[in-house]
Structure 1
C-alpha cells in the first residue's frame, strides 16, 4: 500500500509571497525518534487520510513491534520528510485527519501520543510543514471545530504562524468571511466535500470551502473563531491583541 496513488493535497503556489522559498530552504528537516521507511510513513499517512482506523491501528502496532518501541514513538515519527521538489509536504500524520475533519482518527492519534515525553508531544502537535502550517492551521482553515478542540486540548499553540504570518484564528476568520460573501452568490454544489488543503495564504488568495449558512446563522468558520477566542488559551490571545491595539 502506498500513498503515491492517492489524490494529492490541493496546493496553492503563493507567488506574491517572495519569502516562501527562503523559509522552506532555511527550515531544516525535523529529527524523528524512530527512522521509519518512506513506505511505512506513506502507509500511516494514507490510513489517516483515508479514515481507515483499522489499518491505522494495525500498521502502528506492527511498526511498534518491529522497532521494539512504544506506539507513541511511531506516531511521532510519521512525518513526510520527502523534499518538496519530489512531492513532499513536510506534513505529519496529524495534518490529514485535521484537514479532512476526521475527529475520530485525530483523537486516536493524539491518545497514542499521550505517553510520549511532554516536549516531544508538544513539538509534534505543533509540527509545521513546508508552508509553516500546523495541523491546527488546517483544521481551522477547513472549519472543523471538533478537530480544533482536540488539537487545542492536546497542546496546540494558537500563536504559531505559518510562512505567510497567519495564525489559526486568522485562517478560520478568513474562511468565515468567505462564507458570508459566497452566501450572496448562491450555494456551491461542492460545499460539503471534505477538503484536504495545503496552502500559505497571501493577500487576495481564497480559502477552502466554508460551510454556507442562512442569514443570522453562525457559520462553521465563525464557530471556530468564537470557540478559539473563548477558550482558555484563546482568551489570553485576544487579551494580548487588545492590549497591543491600546498601546499602538
Structure 2
C-alpha cells in the first residue's frame, strides 16, 4: 500500500505540532505519510521540523525518525537546529543534538549562520553561560598549525598545552592557554 503525499496544510500542521511538542500529532503524520516527508518539510523561512522542535525544547520522538543529515540542515538565515536550541537555552536538546549517534557530532558546534555566529556564539550572545560552557567543553579543539600560531601571537605553547580561541557575537576574539595541572602558570605568557 502506497502512502499518500502530505498537503500544504498537513505540512503546516506538522510544523506547528513540532513547535508545540505535540508528539501524538507528529506520530500520526508519520503513520499516515511515512517518515521521509519529515526531512523535507520547511516553512517559508526554511525552518525544518527539527528547527521548530529544538527552538522550543521538544525533541523526544523526532530524533528517532528523521535523517541524521537534518541535524545540520540550515534555514534561510543559515542557522541549524543547534543554533535555535542554543539561542533558546535548551541544554538537554543541545546535548542530544551534539551527542546523537551517526549525526555530525561536535562539528555542529562549528557551523556559522548568516550573522557569522556558531551555536556557541548564539549561547554567548544571549548570556547563556551554562550552555556556552558545555559547548566549549565538548567542541573540537583543532591544534591547527601550532608553529604558525606561535609565530603570529608570540605565545609559547608546550606539547601538552591547549590554546583556545573563541570569537564572541561582536567579533572580538578571546584567547586562552590551558596548561596541564601542576605546570607553573608564571611561565605562560
The count of corresponding residues between Structure 1 and Structure 2 is 144
The residue that corresponds to 2:98 in the other structure is 152
> Which of the numbers 6, 21, 37 marks the counterpart of 1:74?
37
Asked which structure has the greater CA Rg, the reply is 2
- Deviation at 1:92? 0.1
**Cα displacement string for residues 56-77 of structure 1 (whole angstroms, at most 9, x for unaligned residues):** 111121112xxxxxx2x13212
Taking a change above 3 Å as real, the CA distance of residues 163 and 136 of structure 1, as seen in their structure-2 partners, is: same
Taking a change above 3 Å as real, the CA distance of residues 131 and 112 of structure 1, as seen in their structure-2 partners, is: same
> Which of the numbers 134, 141, 160 marks the counterpart of 2:87?
141
Deviation above 6 Å: which 4+ runs of structure 1?
A: 242-245
The residue that corresponds to 1:98 in the other structure is 54
The residue that corresponds to 1:173 in the other structure is 124
Alignment gaps of 5+ in structure 2: 154-189
> Which of the numbers 87, 104, 115 marks the counterpart of 1:164?
115
Instruction: For 2:149 and 2:53, locate their aligned partners in 1 and report how far apart those are by CA, in whole Å.
Output: 36
Greater fraction of residues in strand: 2
Alignment gaps of 5+ in structure 1: 1-33, 65-70, 81-87, 177-220
> Which of the numbers 130, 135, 138 marks the counterpart of 2:76?
130
The residue that corresponds to 1:222 in the other structure is 129
CA contact (8 A) 2:41 2:48 kept: yes
CA root-mean-square deviation: 2.5
**Cα displacement string for residues 116-137 of structure 1 (whole angstroms, at most 9, x for unaligned residues):** 4xxxx32x11111111111100
User: Counterpart of 1:94 in 2: which secondary structure?
Assistant: helix
